[in-house]
Each structure stands twice: as C-alpha cells, then as structure tokens.
Amino acid sequence: MAYLARRTGQALIVLAIAFTATFVMLQALPGDAILIRFESPELGLSPEQIADIRAAYGADVPPLQQYLHTLIGFLQGDFGTSVQYGTPVRELIGSALPDTLPLAGLGFLVAVVLAVALAFLSTLAPFGWLRRVLRALPSVFVSVPVFWLGIVLIQVFSFQLRLVPVIGADPVQALILPVLTLAIPISAPLAQILARSIDEVQLSPFVAVVRAKGAGPARVLWRDVARNALLPAITIAGVLIGELIGGAVVTETVFGRAGIGRITEQAVANQDVAVLQAIVILAALVFVLVNLAVDLVYPILDPRLKRKAVAA
Amino acid sequence: MSAPVDIPVRADAAAPPVGIAVLPALDGSVPSTAAAAAAAGPAARAARRLRSVPPGLVLAWLVIAVVIAWALVPWLFTAQDPVSGVPAEKLQGPSLAHLFGTDAIGRDLFTRVVYGAVHSLSGAFVAVTVGLAGGTLLGVLAGSIGGVVDAVVMRLVDVLLAIPGLLLALSIIILLGFGTVNAAIAVGVGSIAAFARVSRSEVVRVRQADFVEAAFGSGGRLSAVLVRHVLPNSLTAVIGLAALQFGAAILAISTLGFLGYGAPPPTPEWGLLIAEGRNYVATSWWLTVLPGLVVVAVVLSANRISQSLGRTR
C-alpha cells in the first residue's frame, strides 16, 4: 500500500514538473504564437485589435496567472485554444484521435507479434546461419529511419508489386503499409530483450531439471521458457508507447494521413504552442500511466518480486 | 601394447627443445633463439588480436572512416558539384558516371550524399556533445553529492524520459527555430537523460571502490577525488553510450531534416535528400533508396562499434 502511494506520488511529481517545464519553455519565452499569427502586415490589424486578440487568448495577464489558469484548465481537460485553427485544442485532438488509435494500436500489436516471432525463431530455427541472421535483424531494424522505411515500403508494395493501391485504397488497405512502417522499428528493442531473456531462462537450472525429467522441447519451450522469458519484456512497454507516438508523427506525415501525428507536425510548423504542449503532456501522461501499471502488475505476474519486496 | 612405446617417444622428442628455449630466458641471459621469439612476440600478438576482431566490426570502423573522410575532404571522392546540376542529365539511374543517379535538376546524387556527410556528422557530433556534457554533469552531480540534489536531478531525468524523444526535440525546435544546429541541440537534449542515468550509476559504483575511500582517507577533497579517481573510472560506460547515441542522433537528425525542421534546401542533408526524392518514388527509386541505405549503414556501424566498446568493459 505504501509502495502504491509512493509510486503514484512519484508519477504525479513527474507530470507536474513536465507541465511546468513545457509551460515555461513553450509559453513564457519569446516567439509568441499570437504575435506571429496576427502581426503579419497582410492581415492589417491595428495594435489595439491585436491586444484584444491577446486578451481573448488570455495572453495579456502576468505569467504566473497564465500558469495557474493553464494548469487549472489542464486539470479540467481544457487544453486551451489552437492559435492556428482557432478551435479548442481538445476538439482538435478529439477529432484526430480516431485516425491515430487504429494505427497505433495495430502497430503495437504487429510489433509484439513480430518481436515474439523473431525472438523465438532466432533461438529455435534450424541451421546456425539462419539463427544468426534472425539475431542480427533487430539491430538492422533499429538502424532504419522510419520515414525512409515508409517510402521504401510504398515503392516496393505499391509501385513495384502493385499489391496495395496508392490512390483509392479502402480504409483497411490504407492501414497496411503505415502499420508495418510503425511496427518494424518498434519490434526491434522488444525482440532483443526477449531473445536475451530466452537465452537466460534456457540456461537456468530449473529448465535443466524439467529436461532431465523427460519433458520434450515443445513443453519446455512453451510451459517453462516462454512464460518466464516474456516477463522482462513488459518493463519496456512504456518506452515502446513513447516510440509509438514519435513513430506516428513520422508515419502520418509520410503517408499523408490525418491524425495526432499530423497535428503535431503542423503545430511545430506554425508555432502553435498550445497544441504542442497538450500533445507533449498527454504523451507524458500515457507514459507515466503505463509505467505505473507495469510496476503494479509486475509483482502479481512474478510472485518472487512480491516476496522480495515484503522481505525488504 | 601401444602405451609403453608412447612414453619414451614423447620424452625424447618434446623435452629437449623446451629446455633450451625456456631455461636461459628465465635466468635473464637471452640467447639468439629466444630473442627472435621475443621480437616476434608483439607482432604475433598483434596479428592474433587482429584475427580475433570480428569482420563485422572491421567493416563498421571502415564505414565510419569513409564517412568521416567524406565530411572532411568531400572533393577527393567526387569531381562534381553538389548544388548546381546539369539539367540535360536529370533523373538518370545509377551508372558509372553517376554512381547514385541524378535528381530532378540533374545534380549527381552521390556527390550530394558525400557533401551531405558533414551536415549529418557535425549535427550528430553537436547532439552527442550536448547530451554528454549536460547528462554527465547532471549525473556526476547527482551521484557524488547525493541527497536532495540526487533526488531533484533524477526527477528531472524522469521527466525527460517521460516525453517521447521526437516530441521533446520538436518542443525545443519550436523554441529555438528551424536549422541544422538547432535540430542538433534538440536531439542532444533528448539524450541528456540517458547520459545522466549511466554516469550517475557509474559514479555511484566507483565511489564505493576501496581506492576512492583511500583517496578520501588520505585527505583528498571531493572535487579533486572526483576529477582524479572517479571520473576516469566512470568513463568507459559513458563512451560506449556516446557511440550508441551517435547513431541514434544521425537517425533523429535525418528525421527532423525529412520533416523540414533541419537544414533548408538546397543543403544536401541526408534526411532532406530523401524528402526531396519522395516526389519521384514512382519513377526514380534511387533518389530515396540509396541515400537511405547510406544512413542505415552509418547507424548500423555506430551501433556495432558501441556494442564492442561496451563489451571491453
């Protein structure tokens, strides 16, 4: 119970610092988004009109007041107003989320399947050379730029093999290549961790005992090795989710999909600070929540840890 | 029957040469045969060490050496101009005259990749320097002072880790503006957390060593002991991480360049090259595939080298 309270407190502190840091960085420093947007001579706005607009966005009050105002807004789920679109950030993100969730969800799923397949095949496949090739694949995957991977997949599958149409694809077809683009780099660190922990578990004494008792390779693998080897992989779930968000920005840009990633890219291009801050804080929130969940679930999955925690 | 025959043969043939070679060497007066062996020693040892180096690692160093040479003396590798092209030769496929083909306004792509090396490498260098300096400073402070400083620094590191790398870089770019150096700094800030964590744990590990305690016991001040004893012994892990971050920085900088937040055109930065080639994917595959392969080769090599540095620890 004390552990739960401490971890939750830590998570809240991280979020509070993240919020304060992004606020200081993005809002209190020069490069005021409102000035950039409305001060251009083409609009022909008088200084008084600009002052009115600033007042409407709440940008004319002292920084501390702005900070409290923004903080209370965030706590109530109000992320301010996008300077670029003139709509509330919450609506903007809400309308983009349905486009990104299937991409991110499927990308994560495919990444996990790919990583598990790679990890197990690289310890089980026949022929040493094949195992070595499979072992080397993840380090190639992490070295590939996501945007380039997307372009190459379009080239191969759309233009060379003509398997996936570029124009007039139905929603499912339009998801295939982006999901692959997102999944391949994310599967790499997972596959590496899995392969390493499979190696470790296979050398541990209890596996030798199970083998000595006459268990076949399939039983040893699925009942004894797999269950123990999959555990450490859960610990990097938070990091993978973060990678997923970064990957979505690039993937959506390459494939011209509307979504959170696209909004992020547009926000940076137009210095739409409120939008970027909301997305950064939401990403940090997801990361913190996932890690908190992992920390709480792990002792349940692995009772050895619970006993250790109690002993300590 | 065979065993009694074996023993005398072995004693006769093997014993005398060993006796001659080893005994004089032991008492210090080195005869000519032993001198020859000693002289061959370092060379043989070097050859043995060279043979034990995996070929992949040699290839990785070779790739990095070539790319560094591209960055330093690009004109030695290509006679053509990276910025102005020959319009008549536009969009040609790879050939002997144009190894990587030509782009939409007839510029030689290989030349642009060679001249682009300096942007990607110096960007990655700036990024790693920012991360290394900032991260090591934070990590060493946290690890050596401990207490409140440690807690504050590690919470900061937690925050940096909680924000996905690309979003963190974008937040800094929105602050600093677009450009090669700004993109590099943004990527570097993203790696501060990793450097801080590794250097902190190394400092904490080394601080418990006996010789550090001895240095304190013989009257060493904190700063002096840190500089003379703790830092040098914490360095190996940090250097391994720097090599790893170098590859990651090249990837991240090319991503920012691709999104249009890095160097402005017509700079031949690698990410920007691929972004420009994107409009011709249907007809001219080489414009995107070949520069991308160069990026993959460099990042793969940096990662391989960092792995070997980590292992020697």
- At B26 the pLDDT is 40
From the CA of B65, how many Å to the nearest CA of chain A? Answer: 18
From the CA of B207, how many Å to the nearest CA of chain A? Answer: 24
- At B23 the pLDDT is 38
- At B17 the pLDDT is 40
Interface test with A, best of B166, B246, B301 (most A CBs within 10 A): B166
The residues of chain B scoring below 70 in pLDDT are 1-43, 45-51, 85-93, 96-98, 104, 310-313
C-alpha dist (Å) from residue A195 to A105, A125, B235 = 23, 13, 29
* Listed residue (B140, B121, B68) closest to B269, CA to CA: B121
Give the pLDDT band of residue A54 (cuts 50, 70, 90). low
Any chain B CB within 8 A of the CB of A161?
no
- At B130 the pLDDT is 93
- At B30 the pLDDT is 42
Percent with pLDDT over 70 in chain A? 83
CA A267 – CA A85 distance, rounded (Å): 10
| A103: exposed, middle or buried (Cβ count in 10 Å: 0-12, 13-18, 19+) | buried
From the CA of A155, how many Å to the nearest CA of chain B? Answer: 6
Give the pLDDT band of residue A266 (cuts 50, 70, 90). confident
Any chain A CB within 8 A of the CB of B126?
no
Burial A213-243 (b: 16+ CB within 10 A, else e): eeeeeeebbeebbbebbbebbeebbbbbbbb
Mean pLDDT value across chain A: 78
Which residues of A fall within a CB distance of 8 Å from B292? 144-145, 148, 151-152
Looking at the partner chain, which of A15, A17, A145 has a beta carbon nearest the beta carbon of B251? A145
Catalogue the long-range contacts made by A85-92 (C-beta closer than 8 Å, 24 or more residues apart). A85/A272, A89/A274, A89/A275, A89/A278, A90/A278, A92/A263, A92/A275
Looking at the partner chain, which of A13, A25, A246 has a beta carbon nearest the beta carbon of B167? A246
Q: Where are the beta strands (DSSP E) in chain A?
A: none
Give the pLDDT band of residue A123 (cuts 50, 70, 90). confident
| A171: exposed, middle or buried (Cβ count in 10 Å: 0-12, 13-18, 19+) | exposed
Interface test with A, best of B168, B259, B298 (most A CBs within 10 A): B259
Q: Note the pLDDT tens digit of each residue in B16-73.
A: 343 333 333 344 444 444 444 445 566 676 666 666 777 778 888 888 888 888 878 7
CA B181 – CA B185 distance, rounded (Å): 6
Q: What is the mean pLDDT of residues A178-192?
A: 88
- Cis peptide leading into B266, omega within 30 of 0? yes
- At A110 the pLDDT is 92
| B22: exposed, middle or buried (Cβ count in 10 Å: 0-12, 13-18, 19+) | exposed
- All structural domains of chain A: 2-75 (no CATH), 89-305 (1.10.3720.10)
Window from A38-47, A138-147, A202-211 with minimum mean pLDDT: A38-47
What token pair was written down for A288?
A: 């913190």
- At B128 the pLDDT is 92
- ipTM confidence score: 0.81
Query: In which residue are the tokens 């496949």 written?
Result: A125
What count of residues does chain A have? Answer: 312
Which residues of A fall within a CB distance of 8 Å from B289? 152, 155
Outline where B163-269 has alpha helix (H).
165-176, 180-207, 210-217, 222-225, 231-259
Give the pLDDT band of residue A305 (cuts 50, 70, 90). low
What token pair was written down for A77?
A: 């789920």
Q: Is 90 exceeded by the pLDDT of residue A245? A: no
- At A33 the pLDDT is 55
Give the pLDDT band of residue A41 (cuts 50, 70, 90). low
- At B15 the pLDDT is 40
Which residues of B fall within a CB distance of 8 Å from A287? 161-164
The yes/no answer on whether domain B60-78+109-311 falls in CATH 1.10.3720.10 is: yes
In this complex, how many residue pairs, one in chain A and one in chain B, have their CB atoms less than 8 Å apart? 135
Q: In the beta sheet, which residues pair with residue A88?
A: A81
* CA B223, B228, B233, B234 torsion-angle sign: positive
H/E stretch holding B278 = none
Which residues of A fall within a CB distance of 8 Å from B259? 147, 249-250, 253, 265, 268
pTM of the entire structure?
Answer: 0.78
